[in-house]
């Protein structure tokens, strides 16, 4: 007879790894299950770096999660002697004429300013001349303007997952990797979880399965989500002098509403010239699944990315793409999150805080999920309920 766990966590990526660690440090008996061996490259939490920003143009309700995540990551850094978070600033750029939407938001720069004001984040507004003087690696158009703060930056997703899972194990969590969940159900005050290797029982279940989530839910809930394929690129700088302009002390993370079909975002160089500079765009039209997605960027995709987004706006980068990665977004309309108990099963918590801007919130949301599962007091999350988000 298998033991009864206090909490089972399905999916040990951004949210699941954070939740498993937070549960274990509270003394809970934890079972974590993942179909792969995190950190891995099959979901949404890989690619060396992720943007982190307290001023979230998607809505001021997200800021508290990011602020708490920064506190948690800094504490982990001090405890373990690792570097998880770099706060080298963020530049949000927009300008005249028709611009790409950012997470469905037209006036993303203004929305970021509003979120910064509500969160008490100090920021500076820059005109085109000021941005050209401070950030020569960018090619701005006349009339472009920017929002700049210094508390934003980037976080290292693979390392965050690795250290959270390590600490969870050290605190007694039982973590099963390379094990696939086939079903779960609530009955008689417990939740049973069936995998390809066995059946387990828990008092509470957290489902944080990322792009695999729709496959585990009933059709009426699964319709809430769509999975989209995103491509991350690393382009080589033209020469050493150009590469130096992308160093973290001279080049912030950025989100740019360019005059093109898709917004772009990117990072400073985190290594030598032969490691490239990361840049990506975002698309929300073409849906996929983790099983059917094309995990290779084609030569045509690389060429179009350079010709449309890299060359025109970051002239210091060459057409040489050093590497590319495929990432999956689990998207909810309006770039929203779902953090809620299953509408019909009160011991099952569904966590899908992604929509393309999830990792920055993950440490704080992992803490929240632990609080929910253990009946602790936590912040109001009514705006993330299923019943306000299900699509017709």
Considering only the C-alpha atoms of the chain, give the largest distance between any 2 of them, rounded to a whole number of Å.
70
Name the β-bridge partners of 192: 185, 201
In this structure, are 230 and 371 located in the same domain?
A: no
Do 163 and 297 belong to one domain?
Answer: no
The kind and range of the H/E element at 70 are: helix 63-80
Question: How far is residue 345's CA from residue 388's CA, in Å, rounded to a whole number?
Answer: 18
- What does the pLDDT look like over 91-123, one tens digit per residue? 999 999 999 999 999 999 999 999 999 999 999
pLDDT, tens only, 206-234: 999 999 999 999 999 999 999 999 999 99
74, 213, 269, 281, 305 from 261: Cα distances, Å: 37, 29, 25, 9, 11
Give me the CATH number covering residue 93. Answer: 3.30.9.10
Residues 108 and 143 in one domain: yes
Tell whether 234 is covered by a domain.
Answer: yes
Task: List the one residue out of 159, 101, 156, 147 whose CA is nearest residue 123.
Answer: 147
Q: Are residues 213 and 341 in the same domain?
A: yes
**Averaged pLDDT, 120-140:** 98
Gap between the Cα atoms of 308 and 311, Å rounded: 7
The residue out of 306, 331, 356 marking a domain boundary is: 331
Chain mean position to CA 92 = 18
**pLDDT tens digits, one per residue of 306-334:** 999 999 999 999 999 999 999 999 999 99
Whether residues 163 and 236 share a domain: the answer is: no
Residue 198, domain extent: 4-46+157-222+334-388
Question: Residue 30 sits in a domain of what CATH number?
Answer: 3.50.50.60
Report the alpha-carbon distance of residue 147 to residue 116 in Å, rounded: 10
Residue-wise pLDDT tens digits, 196-209: 999 999 999 999 99
What is the per-residue pLDDT for 202? 98
pTM of the predicted protein model: 0.96
Whether residues 148 and 245 share a domain: the answer is yes
**What are the DSSP calls for 207-251, one per residue?**
E--GGGHHHHS-HHHHTT-EEEEEEEEEEEESSHHHHHTTSTTT-
pLDDT cut 70: percent of the chain above it: 98
């Amino acid at each position: 007879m298998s033991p009864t766990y206090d909490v089972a966590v399905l999916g040990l990526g951004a949210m699941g790894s954070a939740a498993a660690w937070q549960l274990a440090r509270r003394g809970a008996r934890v079972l974590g299950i993942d179909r792969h061996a995190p950190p891995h490259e099959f979901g949404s939490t890989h690619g060396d770096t992720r943007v982190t920003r307290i001023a979230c143009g998607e809505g001021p309700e997200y800021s508290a999660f990011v602020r708490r995540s920064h506190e948690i990551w800094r504490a982990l850094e001090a405890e373990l002697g690792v570097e998880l978070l770099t706060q080298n600033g963020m530049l949000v750029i927009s300008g005249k004429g028709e611009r790409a939407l950012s997470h469905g938001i037209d006036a993303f720069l203004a929305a970021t300013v509003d979120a910064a004001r509500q969160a008490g984040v100090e920021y500076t507004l820059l005109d085109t001349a000021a941005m050209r003087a401070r950030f020569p690696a960018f090619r701005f158009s006349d009339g472009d303007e920017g929002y700049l703060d210094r508390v934003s930056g980037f976080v290292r997703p693979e390392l965050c997952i690795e250290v959270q899972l390590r600490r969870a194990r050290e605190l007694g969590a039982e973590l099963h990797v390379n094990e696939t969940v086939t079903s779960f159900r609530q009955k008689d005050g417990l939740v049973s979880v069936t995998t390809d290797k066995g059946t387990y029982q828990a008092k509470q279940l957290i489902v944080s399965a990322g792009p695999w989530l729709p496959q585990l839910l009933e059709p009426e809930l699964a319709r809430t989500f769509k999975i989209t394929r995103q491509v991350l690129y690393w382009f080589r700088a033209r020469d050493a002098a150009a590469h130096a302009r992308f160093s973290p002390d001279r080049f912030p993370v950025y989100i740019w509403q360019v005059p093109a079909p898709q917004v772009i975002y990117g990072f400073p160089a985190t290594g030598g010239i032969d490691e490239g500079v990361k840049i990506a765009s975002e698309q929300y039209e073409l849906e996929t699944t983790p099983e059917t997605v094309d995990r290779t960027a084609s030569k045509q995709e690389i060429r179009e990315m350079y010709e449309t987004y890299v060359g025109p706006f970051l002239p210091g980068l060459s057409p040489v793409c050093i590497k590319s990665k495929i990432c999956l977004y689990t998207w909810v309309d309006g770039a929203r999150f779902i953090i809620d108990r299953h509408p019909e099963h009160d011991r099952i918590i569904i966590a899908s805080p992604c929509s393309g801007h999830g990792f920055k919130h993950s440490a704080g949301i992992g803490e929240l999920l632990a609080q929910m599962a253990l009946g602790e007091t936590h912040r109001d999350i009514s705006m993330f309920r299923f019943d306000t988000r299900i699509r017709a």
